[in-house]
Amino acid sequence: MSRHSASFKRSVVDKYLSGDESYASAASDHGVDAATVRKWVALYQVHGDAGLLGKYGRYDAAFKLSVLERMWEDGLSHRQTAALFNIRNAGCLTGWEKRYHAGGIEALGPRPRGQPMSKPPAPAVPVAASDEAKSREELLAELKQLRMENAYLKNWRT
C-alpha cells in the first residue's frame, strides 16, 4: 500500500505546478523527498489523476521489450520512460536492460520466485572395496592423517 494518499500527492503536485514552488520547497513543505515530487509531477503530467493512484502489476516480456526499445529509440532516461509507461519504479528498467543484454527477450520473462521446494539429495560418498578390507588400526591412522591435512589447510587460509 502507498504511504501517501492520492489526494496528498495531488496537493503536492498542485503546489509545484502553481509556479511559486520548486521541487525542493514543495517537498520540504510536505515532508517528502524532492525526487519523489519530481516523479509525482511527471506521472501527473502524462497520466493525470490516474498516475497518482496506487498501481501493482507484473509486465510480460513483450511489454518490457517494447518499453526498452522506446527508451533507446527516443533517447529517454529511465525516469522519463517510467513516467511515460506509468511504471512506478524507474529502477526496474535498469534490471530489465541488464537482463535483456545478458540473455535476450527470454531473460525478460517471468522468473521463479522463492526457494525451490526441495533440494536434490546429496550424492553418496562411494566406499572403496579396499576400505572394507582395512583393519581398524589402518582406518584410524588414515582418519588421523586426513584430520591433520584438514587442520593444516584451515590454518593455511587464515
Residue 71 near residue 78 (C-beta atoms within 8 A): yes
Categorize the per-residue pLDDT at 1 as very low, low, confident or very high, splitting at 50, 70 and 90.
very low
First-to-last C-alpha distance (Å) of the chain? 48
How far is the C-alpha of 78 from the C-alpha of 92, rounded, in Å?
9
Report, as an integer, the average pLDDT of 2-11: 84
* CATH top class, domain 1-56: mainly alpha
pLDDT in tens, 42-81: 888 888 888 888 766 788 899 999 999 999 999 999 988 9
**pLDDT of amino acid 69:** 94
Asked if residue 11 has pLDDT above 50, the reply is yes
pLDDT in tens, 12-49: 898 889 888 888 888 888 888 999 899 889 888 888 88
Q: What is the 3-state secondary structure (H, E, C) of the chain?
A: CCCCCHHHHHHHHHHHHCCCCCHHHHHHHHCCCHHHHHHHHHHHHHHHHHHHCCCCCCCCHHHHHHHHHHHHHHCCCHHHHHHHCCCCCCCHHHHHHHHHHHHHHHHHCCCCCCCCCCCCCCCCCCCCHHHHHCCHHHHHHHHHHHHHHHHHHHHHHC
pLDDT in tens, 95-151: 999 999 998 888 888 877 777 667 777 777 666 667 778 888 988 999 999 999 888
**pLDDT of amino acid 73:** 94
- Name, in order, each residue with C-beta under 8 angstroms of 59's C-beta and a sequence gap of 6 or more: 67, 87
Categorize the per-residue pLDDT at 158 as very low, low, confident or very high, splitting at 50, 70 and 90.
low
Residue 100 near residue 107 (C-beta atoms within 8 A): yes
Grid coordinates belonging to 33 = 523527498
Domain ranges within the chain, ordered by starting residue: 1-56, 58-110
**pLDDT of amino acid 71:** 93
Tally Cβ neighbours within 10 Å of residue 88: 16
Instruction: Provide the residue type at 109 as one letter.
Output: G
**pLDDT of amino acid 157:** 62
